[in-house]
Structure 1
Amino acid sequence: MDIAQPHALPAAEALALRYGADQVPPAGPWNAHIALLLSHRSVRGYQPDALPADTLRTLIAAAQSAATSSNLQTWSVIAVTDPDKKARLATLANHQNHIEQCPLFLVWLADISRNRRLGEQEGVTLETLPYQETFLVAAIDAALAAQNAVVAAESLGLSTVYIGALRNNPTEVAKLVGLPPGAFAVFGLCVGYASAAGAAEVKPRLAQDAVVHHDVYDASREPVLRAAYDARMAAFSLRHGMAFDTWTRRVIGRMGKITAMSGRDKLVATLHAMGFSLR
């Protein structure tokens, strides 16, 4: 089933939405695919409508087309459609109700268990399995695969939002979806059609000059660029009836106190218990 792509905005308009009218970088080469990427937004409200038949297979084909380190393919995904499981996952992820609303919830895994089983079945000890690098590769593989799935979903007119709060209760999530040792839920992903309430404006990002360094790292203009971005984010908050917030306040709020990690400060111990030695 072919579904038309969302309307592709011209470069100047798409860049203005992403960066703000006063921070539009010069437009380089442009096409509909790049316009789609710049239109990304997180959606936290979904219609109950079912997805077209075999949408999941299309998303997974896109995910499996992402780069994977040395073709090790150290990721897996669990497609959750059962309402009771979604409700439980929503509770575990700090009561995010959009997990219950969306017709498809994907739990993305850093998964070394498959390759561990391969080694056992072949009678070979895979000596690199217990190392931090192996977990990092698996987490990166999962993120690359998921982002491919997100782009594919958005090209089909669907909306998404990542759910990092699965890491608040990783042991409970693992029990709920039956994870073996060596598999860890790095994040979830809601997929569905945005509701009227869930439709969101493109959120401004830092100016390109704040994140791009040429030949050598240079943070000399960072205070000025951050102040300008704070003003844009404050205006964004006001437009959406949100509590006054700037990017600076957001960073301090999320990184200033250990309590903001919602239990994730114990993640290393949890990973050890779930089969990742992290040497």
Structure 2
Amino acid sequence: MKSVKKHTVELLQNHRSIRRFSNKKIPYDDIKNIILSAQAASSSSHGQSYSIINVTDVKKRKLLSEYAGNQEQVVSSSHFFVFCADLNRLEQLSNIEEVDLTESLDSTEMFIIATVDASLAAQNAAIAAEALGLGIVYTGGIRNHPEEVSALLNLPNRVYPIFGMCFGYYDKKQTPELKPRLPIDAVFFENEYKPFSETFPYIQEYDSIMEHYYRNRTSNARNDNWTKVMTNKRKVPRRMNMKSFLEKQGFPFK
């Protein structure tokens, strides 16, 4: 029998994004444990500056799917959560306590805190779901239309949607191939940041691995490597409305 430690490490290192789900619904007890696991994540000063919205309304799920770029799994998955950075709760509490937190809440630091808190909670939720035998996929596409998503979910001031996450059961025979990651020496340094000239050989090695991966996945129809994919994907700026949206939503970056 595998030790718990070994099982946990293998679970983490075998993560795959799942986009094809069955019609089977996740039972409430499992959903509750996923949320409790999310809540157990670290948070800055125990502030827990996030909220999670479980979208069950079919019409809203369909709209969110459209906003995310017609991602079908937003509708077909058993559950779809939207993870939000949330400073509204703290603002409301400060009003009750008659403490003026305006300057603090307006700061870029608090925006970062809320975003990191929500992201840590989301990753705990993802790991808990996979430990329960479920599949997940993050859905950053909801930021394509942040104002529409916020209106649809009735998000108040100082709350914004970071990403969604699909949860569900999947056919393990259709599990996608494990996608290789960068070599550890390209991302893990000791004492100081390594110059790019020292890490570039590892990236070249990785490009060869990814070129093989893309060819294998597409039966030789795709001739790409990681460097090409990343630079081509990022050469056209995306979601350039996010700064103005966040400012309207109560995150002025002061």
- Map of 1:244 onto structure 2: 223
Using the alignment, how far apart are the partners of 2:222 and 2:39 within structure 1? 40
CA shift, 1:31, in A, is 1.3
Most deviating of 119-128 and 43-52: 119-128
Q: Which residue of 2 aligns with 1:208?
A: 184
**1:93 deviation in Å?**
0.4
Compute the displacement of 1:245 (Å).
2.3
AA aligned opposite 1:141: D
Q: Which residue number corresponds to residue 27 of structure 1?
A: none
Which deviates the most, 64-73 or 47-56?
Answer: 47-56
CA contact (8 A) 1:87 1:99 kept: yes
Query: Shift of residue 236 of structure 1?
Result: 1.3
Q: Which residue of 2 aligns with 1:274?
A: 249
Aligned to 1:182: 158
Structure 1 residues 62-71 or 227-236, which shifts more? 227-236
Aligned positions of 1:88-127 closer than 5 A: 88-126=63-101, 127=103
Q: Indicate which of 3, 18, 36 corresponds to 1:43.
A: 18
Q: Secondary structure at the match of 1:41?
A: coil
| Alpha-carbon distance change, 104 to 198 in structure 1, aligned in 2, over 3 angstroms | farther
Displacement after TM superposition at 1:81 (Å): 2.1
Counterparts of 1:221 and 1:169, CA distance in 2: 40
CA distance in structure 2 between the partners assigned to 1:158 and 1:196 by the alignment: 10
Task: Indicate how the Cα distance of structure 1 residues 243 and 202 shifts in structure 2: closer, same or farther if over 3 A, else same.
Answer: same
Whichever residue aligns with residue 9 of structure 2, its letter is: I
Residue 146 of structure 1 corresponds to: 122
The answer to whether the Cα contact below 8 Å between 1:74 and 1:138 also exists between their aligned partners in 2 is: yes
Give the conservation status (yes or no) of the 8 Å contact 2:52–2:81. yes
Aligned positions of 1:1-279 closer than 5 A: 31-126=6-101, 127-195=103-171, 199-218=175-194, 219-241=196-218, 243-258=222-237, 261=238, 264-279=239-254
TM-score (norm 2): 0.93
Contact 2:24 2:169 in 1 (8 A): yes
Q: What's the CA shift for 1:254?
A: 2.0
SS at match of 1:213: coil
Q: Work out the CA distance in 1 between the residues paired with 2:224 and 2:159.
A: 37
Number of aligned positions between the proteins: 249
Indicate if the aligned counterparts of 2:30 and 2:132 stay in contact, CA closer than 8 A. no
Alpha-carbon distance, 1:194 to partner: 1.7
Q: Does the Cα contact within 8 Å between 1:230 and 1:247 map onto a contact in 2?
A: yes
User: Structure 1 residues 192 and 227 mapped into 2: Cα distance closer, same or farther (>3 Å)?
Assistant: same
3-state SS of the aligned residue for 1:165? helix
Cα deviation code 1:200-229 (max 9, x no counterpart): 111100000000111222233322111111
Distance in 2 between residues matched to 1:250 and 1:54, nearest whole Å: 40
The code of the aligned residue for 1:73 comes to Q
Q: Note the alpha carbon deviations across 1:78-123, whole angstroms, 9 max, x for none.
A: 0012222111101000111111110100100000011111111222
Unaligned regions of 5+ residues in structure 1, if any?
1-6, 11-29
Whole-angstrom CA distance in 2 between matches of 1:234 and 1:49 = 36
Do the aligned partners of 2:50 and 2:118 also contact (CA within 8 Å) in 1? yes
Name the Cα RMSD after superposition: 1.7
Amino acid at match of 2:166: C
Structure 2 Cα separation of the partners of residues 107 and 50 of structure 1? 18
**When you count helix as a share of all residues, which structure comes out higher?**
2
